[in-house]
């Protein structure tokens, strides 16, 4: 709060007549303005459409015959004042389409007389028309620090203890640190609400509460549409192969989730054959690091109106920053930024917006981009510095195919000893992980139709009936492998 009051005071000292404050915390904004007004012995007034123009604290009483609940009449009243008072208008944004209202704002902002009133516009969102943008100053309230978030949690825990006969809230330091980290990017009141929800049901903050917290935060920030919150993240035990990728992530986990701000891992690109497990690996990154997973849908991103697509992307990236620390997964990224796209330059503008965010972001958002046709991607996207590494996910070898069969047979509670994994691995040469899974699914269906137990023969039959992608599209897959041989790190 002290920093907010200081910044606002500097703005007033600069004699800026029109100040915009975008915030969901209207009461906190009014509290900061009240503190500053008292400190400066300055009169201040508030306006909203229900109560009209009201004097708060000391200052000249309002003496007007007109209806000051009307925003234009209230602004006309203010324009006639010759005192250095603060006039705070709450929720003026629905009226910004009025040319007369815009003109009144402009006249107040350009008032040459001194002293003159200062107008502060407070709303959750307030886009200004072009004629006002250079005349107004914007200020944002600071987000709570980690220390303030921890204090909010302690305060809510103390309140719960008072209401429950002195019982203490159960938690541990590691979980508490994760909760504080996951509350970053929300306001003070939102953090208090989320902390209260964690505690109120069972008087404990545990690891099981973290997914609940992430879902609640996502819902609170209204991130529907372009971004989706992935509820279930895979375990790396459910991902066959990718040994080098797993080691790379393990080496960087502490650097990303720790407190140091230096050299934070930025992200990776997973390129490779369709069905080879890239999407599952993206989910597993979030599961391994215990972070929320956000998925960006390029299909929902594109809009028919000029400029709206880039705006959608900027808003989605800002939302990801607000969810930090998190993993942002962009699936099939080449569909949104392909160089050959004939879309009147939209993909180039989308690429520019994405590259700027990748280069300038300070938040702990780990980007995992997946691509089936990496040769379509522009070189500036995949260079080092914007992403940490480019991994190529190839078709699984015999050892990895055994692991994949073991995972999918086990997930369907089929006894592993009933199957010869070496034989299955040999019979599935050239199969991707997704194709192996579908062979197991087909074997289950086939056995059920015959009222038989699923056995080795059913799986071998399903494999024999399948033409893998490595055969159907042999030339294209071989070209992709040749491209990656000297340009990417093998994920396995």
The whole-angstrom separation of Cα 179 and Cα 176 is 5
Is 381 strand, coil or helix?
helix
- CB neighbours of residue 400 within 10 Å: 20
Q: Is the dihedral of CA 273, 279, 281, 282 positive or negative?
A: positive
pLDDT of residue 304: 46
**Strands of 44-48's sheet, edge to edge?**
52-56, 44-48, 86-90, 118-123, 18-22, 137-139
Is 456 strand, coil or helix?
helix
pLDDT of residue 287: 81
pLDDT of residue 487: 82
Question: What CATH number belongs to 236-393?
Answer: 3.40.50.300
pLDDT of residue 58: 57
The domain locations on the chain are: 2-139, 146-220, 236-393, 398-472
The whole-angstrom separation of Cα 465 and Cα 471 is 13
Whether 236-393 and 2-139 are alike in CATH topology: the answer is yes
DSSP class of residue 271 equals E
Question: What CATH number belongs to 398-472?
Answer: 1.10.8.60
The whole-angstrom separation of Cα 334 and Cα 330 is 10
Strands 86-90 and 44-48: parallel
The whole-angstrom separation of Cα 260 and Cα 251 is 15
Backbone angles phi, psi at 122, to 5 degrees: -115, 125
- Whether residue 295 contacts residue 245, with contact meaning beta carbons closer than 8 Å, is answered with no
The pLDDT profile of the chain, 492 residues, written as one tens digit per residue, is 566 777 788 888 778 899 999 888 888 888 888 888 888 888 889 999 998 888 876 555 566 666 788 999 999 999 888 888 899 999 999 999 999 999 999 999 998 878 888 999 999 888 899 999 899 988 877 778 888 899 999 999 999 998 888 889 888 888 888 888 888 778 888 889 998 988 888 888 888 888 788 888 877 766 556 788 876 676 666 677 778 888 898 898 888 877 676 778 999 999 887 877 788 888 888 888 878 888 887 766 765 444 577 878 888 888 888 778 889 999 888 877 765 555 557 778 888 888 888 888 888 899 999 888 887 888 888 777 788 899 988 888 888 888 888 888 888 888 888 888 889 989 888 888 888 888 899 989 988 898 888 888 888 988 888 888 778 888 888 888 888 787 888 887
pLDDT of residue 322: 78
Kindly state the helix (H) or strand (E) to which residue 166 belongs, with its residue range. none
Q: Of 256, 241, 287, 283, which is closest to residue 490 (Cα–Cα)?
A: 241
The whole-angstrom separation of Cα 446 and Cα 480 is 34
Question: What CATH number belongs to 2-139?
Answer: 3.40.50.300
């Amino acid at each position: 709060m002290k920093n907010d009051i200081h910044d606002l005071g500097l703005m007033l000292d600069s004699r800026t007549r029109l100040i915009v404050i975008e915030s969901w915390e209207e009461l906190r904004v009014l509290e900061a303005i009240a503190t500053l007004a008292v400190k400066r012995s300055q009169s201040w007034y508030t306006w909203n459409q229900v109560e009209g123009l009201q004097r708060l604290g000391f200052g000249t009483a309002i003496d007007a015959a007109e209806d000051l609940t009307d925003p234009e009449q209230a602004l006309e009243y203010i324009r006639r004042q010759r005192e250095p008072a603060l006039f705070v208008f709450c929720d003026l944004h629905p009226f910004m389409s009025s040319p007369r209202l815009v003109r009144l704002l402009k006249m107040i902002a350009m008032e040459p007389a001194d002293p003159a009133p200062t107008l502060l516009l407070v709303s959750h969102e307030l886009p200004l028309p072009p004629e006002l943008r250079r005349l107004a100053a914007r200020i944002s309230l600071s987000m709570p620090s980690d220390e303030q978030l921890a204090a909010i949690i302690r305060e809510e825990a103390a309140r719960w203890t008072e209401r429950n006969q002195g019982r203490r809230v159960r938690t541990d330091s590691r979980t508490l640190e994760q909760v504080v980290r996951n509350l970053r990017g929300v306001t003070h009141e939102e953090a208090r609400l989320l902390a209260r929800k964690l505690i109120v049901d069972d008087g404990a903050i545990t690891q099981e509460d973290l997914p609940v917290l992430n879902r609640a935060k996502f819902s609170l920030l209204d991130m529907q549409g372009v971004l989706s919150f992935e509820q279930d993240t895979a375990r790396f035990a459910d991902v066959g192969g990718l040994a080098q990728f797993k080691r790379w992530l393990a080496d960087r986990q502490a650097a990303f989730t720790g407190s140091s701000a230096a050299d934070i891992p930025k992200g990776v690109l997973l390129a490779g054959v369709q069905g080879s497990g890239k999407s599952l690996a993206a989910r597993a990154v979030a599961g391994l690091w215990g972070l929320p997973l956000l998925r960006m849908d390029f299909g929902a991103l594109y809009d028919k109106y000029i400029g709206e697509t880039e705006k959608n992307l900027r808003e989605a990236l800002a939302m990801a920053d607000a969810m930090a620390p998190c993993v942002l997964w962009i699936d099939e990224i080449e569909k949104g930024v392909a160089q050959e796209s004939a879309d009147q330059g939209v993909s180039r503008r989308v690429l520019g917006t994405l590259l700027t965010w990748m280069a300038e972001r300070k938040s702990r958002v780990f980007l995992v981009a997946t691509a089936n046709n990496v040769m379509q991607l522009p070189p500036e996207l995949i260079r080092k510095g914007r992403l940490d590494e480019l991994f190529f996910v190839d078709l699984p070898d015999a050892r990895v195919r055994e692991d994949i069969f073991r995972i999918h047979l086990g997930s369907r509670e089929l006894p592993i000893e009933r199957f010869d994994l070496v034989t299955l691995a040999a019979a599935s040469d050239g199969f991707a992980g997704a194709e192996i899974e579908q062979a197991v699914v087909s074997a289950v269906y086939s056995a059920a139709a015959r009222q038989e137990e699923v056995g080795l023969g059913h799986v071998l039959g399903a494999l024999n009936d399948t033409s893998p992608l490595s055969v159907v599209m042999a030339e294209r897959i071989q070209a992709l492998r040749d491209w990656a041989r000297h340009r990417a790190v093998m994920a396995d």
